[in-house]
């Protein structure tokens, strides 16, 4: 389809609905938005949310609840940094934590100097931390994560099992990941999503990761649709999109399709009967190296 093309049609079981979320305002954003060099400050190591950031989380939580989105999401994926995990559990976690009811809280009280109560893990989608959707790696201390064991103490019910190393071995103090490397990592993440059985997934991640990953999509759309896909996210913005598997990467069968005509047997429309009569007078030949065929009158 070119840039002026119309609607496209895809089998539903080859589609996923993705809800992309940029984390709420972190302490690094306050000065970094004014002066980019502020991102170099060690004071912003694994930056946590600001009080305004938590207000943004509360507002987005109200939206996903009132819109019905909360009940539809099968899985939440979060970048393993403090600001993204705080955003994920704050928006998609359960209601107030009660020791007598919850086996483990999603977040302990005051995690990351948040001055927030503990968050329940009951009646909410599973939250899984995934390294592939981290922000630009290297140089900026705000993009360096702490050890997984520290996170597990702060967020007991978040699943960190997909992260192989306790320490952050991906972040380098003197080497910044290139935009091309980040985009390639983003595509690896998107391909990984097709290995998941869940069909409606929320991804809580970062501005740079979102921009460079999503910029790889939409080239077959109208320019305004392309712009809508990859424009920069604001803090705590949620944007919902559908992604289609056109390459047979996903192998899941449909759960809603129905074969019809049970038991099976001939049930051809009249047009097909007419075609069969014509085909009896033709010789069918196949085009070499393809799955196509063509007919020639004899």
pLDDT tens sequence across 6-23: 777 888 888 899 999 999
Q: Are residues 95 and 209 in the same domain?
A: yes
pLDDT tens-place string over residues 143-184: 999 999 999 999 999 999 999 999 999 999 999 999 999 999
3 is a domain residue: no
> Quick check: is 65 in a domain?
yes
The catalytic position among 135, 136, 177, 212 is 135
Check which CATH number belongs to the domain holding 93 and give it: 3.40.50.1240
Q: Are residues 163 and 30 in the same domain?
A: yes
Examine residue 249 and state whether it is found in any structural domain, yes or no: no
**Is 95 one of the annotated active-site residues of the chain?**
no
Position 262 in a domain: no
Q: What pLDDT digit, counting tens, does each position of 182-232 carry?
A: 999 999 999 999 889 999 999 999 999 999 999 999 888 889 989 999 899
Whether the predicted pLDDT of 283 surpasses 50: no
Residue 291 is predicted with a pLDDT of: 35
Same domain, 236 and 275: no
Is residue 259 in a domain?
Answer: no
Q: How many domains does the chain have?
A: 2
Residues 222 and 293 placed together within one structural domain of the fold: no
Looking at the fold, whether 278 and 191 belong to one and the same domain comes out as no
Looking at the fold, whether 34 and 152 belong to one and the same domain comes out as yes
On whether residue 260 sits in a domain, the answer given is no
Q: Are residues 239 and 276 in the same domain?
A: no
Q: Is residue 1 part of a domain?
A: no
**Together in a domain, 290 and 203:** no
Within this chain, do residues 283 and 240 fall inside the same structural domain, yes or no?
no
Query: Residue 162 belongs to what domain range?
Result: 12-244
Does residue 136 carry a catalytic annotation? no
What pTM was estimated for this model as a whole?
Answer: 0.83
Asked whether residue 199 falls in the same domain as residue 285, the answer is no
Judge whether 253 lies within some domain.
no
- Do 225 and 192 belong to one domain? yes
How far apart CA 106 and CA 91 sit, in angstroms, is 12
């Amino acid at each position: 389809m070119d840039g002026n093309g119309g609607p496209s049609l895809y089998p539903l079981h080859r589609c996923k609905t993705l809800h992309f979320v940029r984390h709420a305002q972190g302490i690094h954003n306050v000065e970094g938005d004014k002066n980019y060099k502020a991102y170099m400050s060690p004071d912003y190591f694994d930056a946590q949310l600001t009080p305004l950031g938590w207000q943004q989380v509360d507002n987005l939580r109200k939206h996903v609840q009132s819109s019905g989105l909360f009940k539809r999401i099968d899985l939440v994926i979060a970048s393993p940094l403090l600001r993204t995990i705080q955003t994920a559990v704050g928006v998609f976690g359960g209601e107030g934590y009660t020791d007598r009811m919850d086996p483990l809280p999603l977040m302990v009280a005051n995690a990351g100097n948040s001055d927030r109560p503990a968050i329940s893990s009951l009646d909410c989608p599973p939250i899984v931390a995934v390294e592939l959707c981290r922000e630009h790696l290297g140089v900026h201390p705000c993009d360096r994560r702490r050890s997984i064991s520290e996170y597990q103490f702060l967020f007991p019910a978040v699943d960190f099992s997909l992260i192989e190393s306790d320490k952050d071995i991906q972040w380098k103090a003197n080497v910044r990941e290139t935009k091309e490397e980040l985009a390639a990592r983003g595509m690896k993440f998107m391909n990984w999503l097709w290995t998941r059985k869940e069909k409606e997934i929320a991804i809580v991640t970062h501005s740079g990761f979102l921009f460079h990953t999503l910029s790889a999509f939409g080239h077959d759309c109208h320019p305004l649709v392309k712009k809508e896909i990859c424009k920069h996210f604001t803090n705590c913005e949620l944007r919902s999109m559908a992604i289609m598997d056109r390459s047979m990467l996903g192998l899941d069968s449909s759960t809603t399709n129905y074969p019809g005509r049970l038991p099976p047997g001939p049930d051809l429309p009249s047009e097909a009967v007419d075609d069969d009569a014509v085909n009896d007078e033709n010789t069918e030949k196949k085009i070499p190296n393809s799955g196509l065929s063509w007919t020639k009158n004899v």
